[in-house]
Chain A
Amino acid sequence: MTTVVYVPRDAAARSLGADGVARAIAAEAARLGIDVRVVRNGSRGMLWMEPLVEVETEAGRVAYGPVARADVASLFAAGFLNGGEHPLRQGLTAQLPWLAGQDRLVFSRVGVIDPLSLADWRAHGGGAGLVAALGMSPAAIVDAVTQSGLRGRGGAGFPTGIKWKTVLDTPAAQKYIVCNADEGDSGTYSDRMLMEGDPYTLLEGMVIAGLAVGATKGYIYLRSEYPDCERVLLAALENARAGGLLGASVYGSGSAFDIVLRRGAGAYVCGEETALLESLEGKRGEVRFRPPVPAQVGLFGMPTALNNVVTLGSIPAILAEGPAAYQARGVGRSRGTLPFQLAGNIRHGGLVEVPFGVSLKTLIYEYGGGTASGRPLRAVQVGGPLGAFLPADALDIPLDYEAFVDRGAIVGHGGVVVFDDTVDMAKMARYAMEFCAVESCGKCTPCRIGSTRGVEVIDRILQGERRPQQVALLRDLCDTMTSASLCALGGMTAWPVLSALEHFPEDFGLGRPDHRTARSEGGT
């Protein structure tokens, strides 16, 4: 009998040596003459426990982790192929606390299946959303998406159904679906994990989007920093064409849809939708003036539904289970689930898919286990480089688009970056300006020049040069950037800068002498 052993092929798992572990398991099995099939699955999202090896047993899948190459011989000796006891044995995967409390809707198959096996995908419910959509009119699909309450997961939170309706209602000879896989925000990796762990679900979401708006061609714009992901997607596209998920007649329906994979070239601003379109057209990634919106005049001048990977990846579940089931999850106007990503100085970093409404505290302490350093948490940045810094006493805030906006913060793509008390918040503010200067597309002066000025002003504040005047200057600069920038890169860089200044003035050499931090005590 063949025993199936799972060793993730996810880039994060590979970054900790999963390939070597997979090879060692195959080699040891061969040496012992045992029949083992190693499947390279996606990651379960417990990234701190990678490489997490699972063995298929009669009782279910048993997890061992983190496994190093050097552990492999002892795992065989301990009978891990039968779920045997071993110091690295974590128990039945399904019962691991990290996973048991989650509501895996978009990530239901990630880590479970062989990402490139269409048969495995179908056996676990893949394709059900597409089958449902093929029996619906375009307007009915758009309605279902609207009713689900799904909002764009790329950052702006715009209702997906409304965007799709605009594309549907704009007549054109050719329309496009564009998947934004630029995932540039620090602290985020859910797009990557979905694409590497369950690529067909993204393709399925894009096909459904095509049926909904009347588009026959799609593009995936993938950032160049994800070479592992690119390999998975290329193979998935080929298999999907061979398997009838893509092509001239999707699932024999007579409707055509095909997808082209495009690689970005290392520009954060190309995650902005209109810069992305420019880039797809082979140009410099400069932001376009709006209106018109891409839904009306998008790629090559045609109506284009442009959505984030997780947005599109949520579509199949919405159609398979019906919009009501999706809408029933979440709080307020934030419906459904979001795969949150724990990052930075965190003991247990990884992906947690739960409905909106969970508090930051729950995510960071119950899932994340607090800081990796064991030192006190000092600040958290949610929503990428344009997100505000929140102080340690603000962590009761629920993950909800509106609750965050009320606090001058953003949920964005759901990345949570934790900093301990050694962080220098003035340095982080300086970095925010520097990042804006490095990544600015150059189209507007406040962003292009203002960010460089911002770095200089913060430097002067730190040198103690006429501090009050310089702080006033910094605030003015932030105001100008916020009000006079064409896109959120220039327009929101003020958020991390001003939140750092507001919550951590002592790091800028200003006031609050009672607030003592490790840095001021340590005098570094």
Chain B
Amino acid sequence: MPAHPPASSPAADRSAEVDAVVQRAIATHAAEPGGLLPLLHAIQDALGWLPPDALPKVASALNLSRAEVHGVISFYHDFRTSPPGRRVVKICRAESCQAMGSDALVKHACSTLGMELGTTRPDGAFTLEPVYCLGNCALSPSIMVDGALHGWVTRQRFDALMDEVPEVE
């Protein structure tokens, strides 16, 4: 058991965690020339998204306005301003995967998971997103599940992957 006094609430814990992550990311990347992207990645790698309370700190550490930081975050598809689902599923929709039926795979995914492409399910179980090429075009259609690439994904394989308990590294 941690030696902390039992006073901390979950919200305070979370805010302390965000703070620690942001401080660490700033310490590592703020001095780097053009370090905003690595800094944002470091925060998102640790927390899964970019919580709004992190941004003022990032902006002041880099001597940028909040609007500038927001402008960068909104430009890039990768950066999340709301928490992702417990599992993040990306389905490739680019040409090579289309040639091998990725449209049908998207439809299948939406109907079996009960959600739209580009959303997070209200129960927080899944985020389902389009992606434009995973560099696995010889083995189309391809998907990425929690950072792991899968090729030649049939509907059956998709269902099996969704049922699988994620491997602990």
Residues on A facing B (Cβ under 8 Å): 11-12, 14-16, 47-48, 50, 183-189, 191-192, 223-228, 262-268, 279-286, 300, 341-346, 349-351, 372, 381, 385, 415, 417-420, 423, 428, 431, 435, 438-439, 441
Contacts and interface: CB of A to CB of B under 8 A. Distances in A.
Contacts of A189: 135-138
B94 A186 contact: yes
B21 interface: no
Interface stretch (B11-19, B81-89, B107-115, B126-134): B126-134
A121 B11 CA distance: 52
B78 interface: yes
Given A227-B147, A341-B137, A284 B95 contact: no
Interface residues of B, number: 41
B139 A265 contact: no
Contacts, number: 152
B133 A12 contact: no
A418 B99 contact: yes
A438 B148 CA distance: 24
B149 interface: yes
Contacts of A381: 95
Given A48-B139, A344-B99, A350-B138, A184 B152 contact: no
B138 A342 contact: yes
B97 interface: yes
B96 interface: yes
B137 A343 contact: yes
B90 to A, nearest CB: 8
Contacts of A280: 34, 37
B136 A282 contact: no
Nearest to A45: B138
A15 B71 contact: no
B135 A344 contact: no
B78 A283 contact: no
Contacts of A268: 132
A285 B75 contact: yes
Contacts of B117: none
A168 to B, nearest CB: 23
Contact of A282 (B72, B78, B132): B72
Contact of A14 (B94, B100, B149): B149
A349 B132 contact: no
Contacts of A224: 41, 78
Listed from nearest, the 10 A-B pairs whose CB atoms lie closest are: A349-B138, A282-B36, A265-B76, A343-B137, A186-B94, A344-B99, A266-B77, A15-B151, A266-B78, A282-B34
A281 B37 CA distance: 9
Nearest to B152: A16
B150 interface: yes
Interface in B138-164: 138-140, 142, 144, 147-152
A226 B99 contact: no
Given A16-B139, A183-B135, A281 B34 contact: yes
A265 B43 CA distance: 13
Contact of A188 (B40, B137, B147): B137
